[in-house]
Amino acid sequence: MVSGVNATLERTVRTRKEPWISHAAWDEASARASSDSTHMTVTRTLEVLLASYGNGAITIKPGTPEAPGTTGRHVVNVDSAVWEKAEEQRKRDGIRSMAALCGILLHAYAKQNISLTVQAAGTIGESPTRTEHPGK
């Protein structure tokens, strides 16, 4: 189980993809995503899963079966860099296609073999030193 995945989606150039994914995996992952603590759509969940896979936070053992059930086209808009990095890793891992990878990841997420957490960090506002305005 992968816990505390910290996938950074820095670029927002998203490309429309239409992978053929198991309906069962899609529907089950969608149900989990909407009730999970992250409350993300299944498309955003898939993007985080692909980013985490491409960054090495999720590994898929050789011989892992593809998601069961009939497949259908699902439209997703995914960050281009995330898709490309996951595709490079998929080829190294010998997974037959991006559609198969998406199905495997969504199926594993739906079966709770992968968990997502959302983290935020940063600085907001001006420096803590207060500057007086002229005339006050």
Mean pLDDT of the region 78-97: 96
Give dist(CA 13, CA 16) in Å, integer: 10
Q: Does 47 score more than 80 pLDDT? A: yes
Tell me the pLDDT tens digit for each residue of 52-87. Answer: 999 999 999 988 999 999 999 999 999 999 999 999
Percent of the chain exceeding pLDDT 70 equals 84
Is 22 in contact with 71 (CB distance < 8 Å)?
yes
Q: Which amino acid is at 33?
A: A
Radius of gyration of the chain (CA): 18
| Structure tokens, 134 | 């002229």
* Structural domain boundaries in the chain: 14-116
Using pLDDT thresholds of 50, 70 and 90, give the confidence band for residue 7: very low
Q: Which amino acid is at 102?
A: C
Q: Which stretch of 20-24, 32-36, 76-80, 131-135 has the lowest confidence by average pLDDT?
A: 131-135
Q: Does 8 score more than 60 pLDDT? A: no
